Amino acid sequence: MNLEILAFLALIVAALPCGLFLANLSAYRRLPKSGPDPVPPVSVLIPARNEELNLRATLEAVLACPAPALEVIVLDDQSTDGTAALVAALAARDPRVRLETAPPLPAGWCGKPHACHVLAGLARHPWLIFLDADVRLAPDAIQRLTAWMAQSEAGLASGVPRQETGTLAERLLIPLIHFILLGFLPLRRMRETTAPAFAAGCGQLFIARRDAYQKCGGHAGLRESLHDGLRLPRAFRQAGWATDLFDATDLATCRMYCTNAETWRGLGKNATEGLAAPARILPFTLLLGLGQILPFVLLLLAAPGSRAFFLAALASGLALLPRLIAARRFRQSWAGALLHPLGVLGLLLIQWQALARKIRGRPMRWKNREYPASSAPPPSDVTRIIPMLALATLLAASPGRADSADTAAAATNWVCSSFDLSDQFGTNHSIHFPQSAPMILIISDRKGSDQIAAWVVALKARCGQDLPLMGVADIRGAPGWVQGLIRRRFRQQCSYPILLDASGRLPAALPCRENEANVFLLDTAGRVLASEHGECSPAPLQRLAHSTLQALQALQEIKHPQADKPAPRTSKDSN
């Protein structure tokens, strides 16, 4: 491939985030100045673990906000420094401040989600502001936040404060928050839908309606996560609530990290839940590498005055333009903006390092706590990445599949937990066990989704139209725009609801195979009674229909033990 073709490719890839960034600037708005309306009762919730150096300035800024009915709850999360003593001294002087102590961290929880969960349970007011201990609010911040949310339909909103930077790593990497957010998330589309694919936020500053927080489960739904900026908005959207974003540059300030090493470790701690997720890292590496790094390399390689040089220069300009605009609008480092390709290179190295750590099973240490690495990426993700990295079709090398009868027998040891998911029409479905009747779940990833319809039609025909049946599409790992296309496709082609699982929790809880439909018969308690996999062919359909009719017949016998009942239909009768 010659330099001219590479330069043209780089130009196209650089133009995409640049265009979306420019389009998003008018949608990413600062909150209006508040009027004379009184500030409603609000709870400011601050998790704190070894935050002695930050908390005084944070609390003084919050208390300077004119909010008559204000409570500030600081949760000391097993700190080993003077955090508790500092808060206790402030609480003694100002009754609006409360010091609470976090219980020991339960198994399966990460520190911050647990602290926020505890804080939400302690709050008394209808508005909840979750604030990191290093974020300082402007004097009118609470008034503007509550006034804006009162007019909004969102259950949760978030803003990126002005990021203070000092070290070289901070100046190169921290401003990329705005570049990634505005360059790859269509904000107007985000506001038109509650689809979880468009979930985004900044964990430094959230404001939530208390009732919405409670209904969606709040931080309890992301207990194992270190990425509440992504996962908390997703939880709200999965429960049917809208979420929103605003420009908090003039509303709050934050310095996330203070050293080069801390910046590197901090950005890597939750990377595998974001850009370094196995299904995302390669596409984002290509997008960022081709559009944000390659143009500057080609400027050095192409002959001055050549067409390749001209295209590379144009692509470089498109890559730099969002960063230069962001430096002015969000008060970022001009040096970091001009060294943009180095910052992107550093970001990509952090993502790949985080993924490598996860695959090797190495624990992640943060805030003097060690979190075991989650297991290696599931086969569905690994088999998508390896072929692309090797530039070969290695899917045939994936592990062999068990016999259908063996899988069905093994599946009967599994139990499905309750879940809340929205369908392609935006309707939320809450399935809580025990149920009044057995039900069937048909789960597939993107490649197996075409098999769902045949199972739905055949099972309804065999077992009756009133059979509780749900189709579930596993769309975890799909980029936001792809999830939107999937939702639109189901909306156009399927009149029955297809639940969209962007988190992958439901498929992960049951023995699902990749690239094909997985059909599970569940009893009233959620236990798997039988399962089939693959296309809807006569033999597996006959087995599953027979098991389903038996389960329905058994339920009728329990409900009406003395009634005379007709002989149960058999799969042969229903043919």
Q: What is the pLDDT of residue 183?
A: 95
Mean pLDDT, residues 529-554: 86
CATH topology of domain 404-559: Glutaredoxin (3.40.30)
Q: What is the pLDDT of residue 560?
A: 66
Summarised one tens digit per residue, pLDDT across range 28-47 is 999 998 777 788 999 999 99
d(CA 271, CA 267): 7
How close are the terminal C-alpha atoms of the chain, in Å?
59
Residue 399 has pLDDT above 50, yes or no: no
Residue 398 has pLDDT above 70, yes or no: no
Q: Where does the pLDDT of residue 153 fall: very low under 50, low under 70, confident under 90, or very high at 90 and above?
A: confident
pTM: 0.66
Which residues, including other chains, have CB under 8 Å from residue 506's CB and lie 6 or more apart? 416, 419, 421, 441, 443, 472, 474
d(CA 380, CA 275): 17
Residue 471 has pLDDT above 90, yes or no: no
Q: Identify the CATH homologous superfamily for domain 24-261.
A: Spore Coat Polysaccharide Biosynthesis Protein SpsA; Chain A (3.90.550.10)
Summarised one tens digit per residue, pLDDT across range 64-94 is 998 889 999 999 999 999 999 999 999 999 9
Q: What is the pLDDT of residue 562?
A: 54
**Boundaries of every domain in the chain:** 3-22+277-371, 24-261, 404-559
How far lies 30's CA from each of 157, 205, 358, in Å? Answer: 12, 14, 37
Q: Please indicate whether residue 313 or residue 374 has the higher confidence score (pLDDT).
A: 313
Residue 556 has pLDDT above 90, yes or no: no
Asked whether the beta carbons of 386 and 394 are under 8 A apart, the reply is yes
Mean pLDDT lowest among 14-28, 209-223, 431-445: 431-445
Summarised one tens digit per residue, pLDDT across range 115-126 is 999 999 999 999
Proportion of the chain above pLDDT 90, given as a percent: 49
How far lies 354's CA from each of 69, 261, 319, 357, 384, in Å? Answer: 43, 14, 25, 5, 18
Q: What is the pLDDT of residue 394?
A: 29
Mean pLDDT lowest among 378-387, 484-493, 531-540: 378-387
Q: What is the pLDDT of residue 413?
A: 59
Summarised one tens digit per residue, pLDDT across range 189-198 is 999 988 888 9
Q: Where does the pLDDT of residue 397 fall: very low under 50, low under 70, confident under 90, or very high at 90 and above?
A: very low
Summarised one tens digit per residue, pLDDT across range 290-342 is 999 999 999 999 999 899 999 999 999 999 999 999 999 999 999 999 999 99
Query: Most confidently modeled of 33-47, 132-146, 224-238, 435-449?
Result: 132-146
Q: What is the pLDDT of residue 83?
A: 94
d(CA 435, CA 158): 36
d(CA 547, CA 143): 59
Average pLDDT of the chain is: 84
Residue type at 436 in one-letter notation: S
Alpha helices (H) in 239-306, listed in sequence order: 260-268, 281-288, 294-301
Residue 205 has pLDDT above 50, yes or no: yes
